[in-house]
């Protein structure tokens, strides 16, 4: 009987597809039933609603596209078929905040077509996870839709209330901005991720996954501010996306949680990307590094050749010695190659990516690093001249491979690529993907600065290890506004950090700045240490000068802290005020904890229930001293040890702009 009824249902569905008399709505729930989605057509427009435990998170939000020289794909639509599916798999990350990731969702595909000629078609695929949702549009091959041009994507997110949001404006280049905190209705056009604190207490994060051959999505408020509509970064001619069927858009993502930490620990975005295309990933390894970089931002040395040139053979070998002595795996050199001068951003066509300056003996340096067991990290600053870079890219990566260099930091300092296109347009997205895929062929990992916002592509291309796209440490050296306020890094993990790893480059131990005394690192030493746990990157820089670490007991934490994790938890967090992160070292029982606060001193009681209840640990604590204060005394750090277990709690006292870093080392069984 069950089989008979199934056959009848299949026949009815097939009849609907054949006659155009499909269902008027369709629905799907998350595996645990907490989230429910309904898709329907109202007055010829398709839209969706999202509920959690029966409560509306999103009211009817419509979808569609404006096309060039063709009618919009928006009105006069009908559902001509639906299909459901489920998936449950656990996969292993090459590196990450969590070793093993469960990918568990229920899927609904809604097939749409125009009721009138030319009867163009597209599908919307929805995937509901227990912690959120992703959806994208797919355009199959069809007679009346081959090559087409998208002028606007009409995706909406319609909220029932004017919630509070943490956001970054699109008008500031490279995503390097201080977050704003306002109601939705008071936002500008904003980058994603966008983090929302709902009136009912839930937390949401809106972003996208698998940005491939498309323009990045931003959002802007309409209809009184409670509806957000997508805005795609255009080409210089106004076109948003050039497409040809079959074609898929990126996933539009919504993460849902009860706490800010739930947003951080979601792996929804990674799950919406494809598995790794690199079969042998043994050469891709997380690491800590130092480099010839901070001295240039302090204007003590220069990128260009001259009496104060930073990237010299002798200076590089000094950094290699320090790295080898302290277990730091990598050393970066910026300004080593021909093309750096006072006008390099304007004359970026003169940059040569495989031609060292005469005072940078690459053969000698590479041999010395290999003998010391230290990896060299190359640097390709393009000045956003992508044509010049692409013309030399194969030669440059081969040059690095010849010298045993397996990691490259790329840069794109110029607001427009090639003088006309935006970084996060389809033009820029195509270029960045070409770099990643080319680097993979040469066995090279990428640290991309001035990037397009990450969207989880590191799952598919794990050689894309980290990116900037954040207002990082360099602003503390020269920014006219004085640098990043203490609040900044209490927001970053819950906003930009939701997109993926970020190369913030912390680790300051000397807070003086004689050349630019108006700017400084607004932190304490203990807080700088805590950042290594709070702000995630598989490539972590100890950014200060080697001489500033010499003789400093607190540097032991930087030597010891991991860069690859088994598990991540967020015991406490109030976005913009403070946060506590705890991470288990990969393939180890060792845990590390980082806690930071804004300008307000705080004392927190943190339960250690994330530790293994069957073990005892030696807690190595690096805390703010009694006299610590980011303005008056950032150097006061108290180092202590105590024995702890999973049932214990620790009181963590943090000074103004301060923090605390703890390493939990398992004690051997007696």
Q: How far apart are CA 5 and CA 162, in angstroms?
A: 46
* Exposed e or buried b per residue across 392-409, where buried means at least 16 C-beta atoms within 10 angstroms of its C-beta: bbeebbebbeebebbbbb
CB contact at 8 A, 71 and 87: no
* Token pair listed for 617: 């640990």
Q: How far apart are CA 336 and CA 329, in angstroms?
A: 20
Q: How far apart are CA 409 and CA 612, in angstroms?
A: 38
Q: How far apart are CA 424 and CA 564, in angstroms?
A: 28
Q: Is the C-alpha dihedral spanning 67, 70, 76, 81 positive or negative?
A: negative
Q: How far apart are CA 304 and CA 411, in angstroms?
A: 16
The alpha carbon of 219 is separated from its chain's Cα centroid by a whole number of angstroms, namely: 18
Q: For residue 249, which phi and psi values (nearest 5 degrees)? A: -85, 165
* Exposed e or buried b per residue across 627-652, where buried means at least 16 C-beta atoms within 10 angstroms of its C-beta: ebbbeeebebbbeeeeebeeebebeb
Q: How far apart are CA 243 and CA 627, in angstroms?
A: 61
CB contact at 8 A, 336 and 356: yes
DSSP state of 274: P
* Token pair listed for 295: 């001295």
Active-site positions? Answer: 474
Q: Are strands 659-666 and 407-411 parallel, antiparallel or unpaired?
A: unpaired
Q: Is the C-alpha dihedral spanning 210, 214, 220, 221 positive or negative?
A: negative
* Exposed e or buried b per residue across 308-340, where buried means at least 16 C-beta atoms within 10 angstroms of its C-beta: ebbbbbebbbebbebbbebebbbbbbbbbbbbb
CA dist 334 to 11, 18, 153, 316, Å? 66, 63, 40, 10
Closest CA to 454 of 620, 306, 219, 273: 273
Q: How far apart are CA 60 and CA 501, in angstroms?
A: 33
Q: How far apart are CA 493 and CA 498, in angstroms?
A: 7
Q: Cis before residue 324, ω within 30 degrees of 0? A: no
From the number of C-beta atoms within 10 Å of its C-beta (0-12, 13-18, 19+), residue 160 rates as middle
Q: How far apart are CA 378 and CA 410, in angstroms?
A: 8
Q: Which residues pair with 583 in a beta bridge?
A: 568, 592
Contacts of 362 (CB under 8 A, 6+ apart): 336, 356, 403
CB contact at 8 A, 427 and 417: yes
């Amino acid at each position: 009987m069950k089989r008979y009824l199934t056959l009848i249902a299949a026949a009815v569905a097939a009849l609907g597809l054949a006659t155009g008399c499909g269902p008027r709505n369709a629905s799907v729930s998350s595996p645990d039933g907490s989230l429910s989605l309904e898709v329907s057509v109202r007055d010829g427009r398709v839209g969706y609603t999202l509920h959690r435990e029966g409560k509306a998170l999103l009211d009817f939000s419509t979808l569609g596209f404006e096309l060039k020289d063709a009618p919009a794909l928006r009105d006069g639509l009908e559902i001509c078929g639906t299909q459901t599916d489920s998936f449950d798999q656990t996969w292993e990350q090459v590196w990450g905040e969590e070793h093993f990731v469960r990918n568990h969702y229920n899927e609904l595909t809604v097939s749409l077509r125009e009721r009138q000629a030319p009867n163009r078609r597209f599908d919307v695929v929805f995937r509901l996870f227990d912690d959120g949702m992703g959806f994208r549009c797919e355009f199959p091959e069809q007679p009346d839709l081959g090559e087409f041009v998208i002028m606007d994507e009409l995706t909406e997110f319609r909220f029932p209330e004017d919630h509070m949001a943490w956001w970054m404006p699109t008008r500031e280049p490279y995503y390097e901005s201080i977050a704003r905190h306002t109601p939705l209705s008071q936002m500008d056009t904003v980058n994603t991720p966008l983090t929302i604190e709902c009136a009912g207490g839930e937390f949401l994060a809106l972003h996208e996954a698998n940005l491939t051959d498309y323009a990045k999505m931003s959002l802007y408020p309409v209809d009184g501010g409670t509806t957000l509509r997508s805005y795609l970064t255009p080409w210089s001619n106004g076109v948003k996306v050039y497409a040809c069927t079959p074609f898929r858009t990126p996933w539009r993502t919504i993460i849902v949680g009860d706490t800010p930490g739930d947003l951080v620990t979601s792996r929804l975005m990674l799950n919406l990307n494809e598995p790794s295309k690199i079969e042998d990933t043994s050469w891709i390894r997380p690491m800590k590094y130092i480099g010839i970089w901070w001295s240039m931002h302090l204007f003590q040395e220069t990128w260009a050749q001259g009496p104060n040139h930073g990237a010299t053979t002798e200076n590089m070998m000094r950094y290699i010695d320090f790295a080898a002595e302290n277990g730091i795996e990598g050393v970066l050199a910026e300004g080593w190659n021909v093309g750096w001068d006072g006008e390099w951003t304007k004359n970026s066509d003169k940059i040569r990516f495989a031609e060292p300056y005469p005072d940078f003996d690459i053969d000698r340096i590479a041999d010395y690093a290999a003998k010391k067991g230290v990896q060299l990290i190359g640097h390709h600053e393009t000045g956003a001249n992508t044509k010049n870079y692409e013309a030399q890219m194969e030669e440059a990566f081969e040059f690095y491979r010849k010298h045993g260099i397996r990691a490259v930091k790329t840069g794109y300092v110029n607001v427009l690529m090639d003088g006309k296109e935006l970084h996060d347009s389809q033009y820029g997205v195509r270029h960045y993907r070409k770099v990643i895929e080319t680097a993979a062929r040469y066995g090279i990992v990428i640290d991309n600065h001035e990037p397009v916002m990450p969207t989880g592509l590191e799952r598919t291309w794990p050689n894309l290890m980290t990116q900037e796209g954040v207002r990082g440490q360099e602003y503390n050296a020269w920014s006219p506004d004085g640098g990043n306020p203490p609040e900044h890094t209490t927001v970053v993990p819950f906003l930009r950090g939701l997109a993926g790893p970020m190369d913030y480059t912390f680790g300051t131990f000397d807070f003086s700045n004689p050349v630019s005394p108006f700017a400084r690192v607004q932190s304490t030493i203990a807080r700088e240490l805590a950042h290594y746990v709070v702000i995630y990157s598989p490539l972590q820089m100890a950014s200060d000068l080697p001489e500033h670490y010499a003789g400093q007991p607190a540097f032991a934490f930087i030597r010891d802290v991991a860069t690859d994790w088994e598990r991540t938890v967020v015991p406490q967090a109030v976005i913009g005020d403070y946060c506590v992160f705890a991470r288990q070292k990969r393939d180890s029982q060792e845990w590390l904890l980082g806690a930071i606060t804004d300008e307000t001193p705080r004392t927190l009681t943190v339960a250690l229930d994330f530790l293994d209840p069957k073990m005892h640990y030696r807690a190595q604590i690096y805390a703010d001293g009694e006299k610590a204060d980011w303005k008056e005394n950032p150097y006061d750090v108290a180092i202590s040890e105590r024995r702890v277990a999973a049932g214990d709690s620790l009181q963590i006292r943090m000074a103004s702009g301060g923090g605390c870093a703890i390493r939990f080392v398992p004690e051997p069984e007696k």
